[in-house]
Chain A
Amino acid sequence: MVETTLYITIILLSFCSILAIIRFIKGPTLPDRVTAFDLFAAIVISLIAIYAVISGNTAFIDVAILLSLITFLGSMSFAYFLFRSKKNK
């Protein structure tokens, strides 16, 4: 019973990641893409965590922690890049 619900949540989360990718492609600006990527990373973190439950392998949770760290660094560096790039008002 538990396993089927978890599989269903995985399917739903994959659907969500498709929505995030659509926003990533549509844009229309760079900050939009950065936030879409943020959401995509959050979805991947949840997917990994749920997969850790299904497979029973607890090592995957470490991967989720690492990924959340890296996404933070990624969005920070994108923000820094935006600050540096020219103002196009």
Chain B
Amino acid sequence: MEFIQELLSTIFIIIGTVFIIIASVGILKLPDFYIRMSAITKAGTVGVGFIALGIAIYFNDLSISIKSFVIISFMMVTAPVAAHIIARAAYRQGIPFWGKNLVDELNELEARKDLLEEQVASNPNSIEIKVQLINCYITLPTVQGGSLKKAILIASDIKEIDAPQGHASLAMIYERDNDFILAEEEYKQAIETSKGNLIYKYKLANFYGEIGRVTQAIDMLEKILAENSDETDAMLELGKAIAVHGKNLQKGISALNSYIEQANNDNEKLSEAYCSLGKIYLKQNDKQKAKSYFAKAIDINPNSLDIPIKCQ
């Protein structure tokens, strides 16, 4: 018994040592800071963890086991946190990637922000550029030059030129800031100032769907449909919302069916419609029909990802 215990503990300690050797070779050999960092945080943590495990087995004692468990869990928690923070600080410092790196999205976004800022300064009346700049401001993290305050300032600029667009941009900013009450208010004002433009109604419905207030989204889409009965996009969106929500299924089926009848040749959307129909039938426990609709959806667009796996 004791022999097995010793054998097991030495095996674990040797495995841990091997991992640490891999980490140290990695830190010497790998080409740039970020790759080295990933090597030592992964392999180093696993190595120390295995050695602590080996010790726990060797001593076979409750207090030692608890202590080595503390070492393992502490390494597992702190190593990723420290690595993440140091990598972030290093990126901010401008530590270079190695030459074969292809994507640096944060840097691209920042460069794009600077470019857009220049463009806004040179022609202050272009709404499109300003909307893009707002997008940049709200997607960039604060330390990298993103700023809600600047975004709101630009949005109020837009509001003076084109009131509904400005309200919609403000709503987008508030939505990003998780201030849903203000966002809803701004969307409603956008609809009001544009005298019921459909684009903003869709945006409001989309917003309701995004934050999980599906009933309100359905109400909104039904309102659009009541006003313009040939608005096919609204039918599709309504069907999708009902498929998620799971109530008034009959209404969803009829909306989707009329969408499919009137649909133009947009395969992706048509496949979405069939997929939503399948989901509705699945909720009605009509598996046969659901299956056939899913098959149609895959038939039209083989890449549609939204289909429940068990039905494929």
Question: Which residues of A does B touch, CB under 8 Å?
Answer: 1-2, 5-6, 9, 12-13, 15-17, 19-20, 22-23, 29-32, 34-36, 38-39, 42-43, 45-46, 49-50, 52-53, 58, 61-62, 64-65, 68-69, 72, 75-76, 78-80, 82-83, 85, 87-89
Contact = CB atoms under 8 A, between A and B. Distances in A.
Interface string B82-95: 11011111101111
Contacts of A16: 20-21, 23-24
A14 to B, nearest CB: 11
B288 to A, nearest CB: 58
Given A42-B48, A46-B51, A79-B85, A23 B67 contact: no
A25 B9 CA distance: 34
A36 to B, nearest CB: 6
Interface stretch (B52-60, B202-210, B220-228, B297-305): B52-60
A22 B13 CA distance: 25
Contacts of A69: 74
B70 A87 contact: no
B21 A82 contact: no
B282 interface: no
B157 interface: no
Interface stretch (B33-41, B130-138, B159-167, B270-278): B33-41
Interface string B43-55: 0110110011011
Given A42-B44, A65-B67, A19 B78 contact: no
Interface of B: 6, 9-10, 13-14, 16-17, 20-21, 23-25, 27-28, 33, 36-37, 40-41, 44-45, 47-48, 51-52, 54-55, 58-59, 61, 63-64, 67-68, 70-71, 74-75, 78, 81-83, 85-90, 92-95
Pairs A-B, 9 closest by C-beta atoms? A82-B89, A89-B94, A16-B24, A19-B24, A31-B90, A72-B78, A79-B85, A75-B82, A42-B44
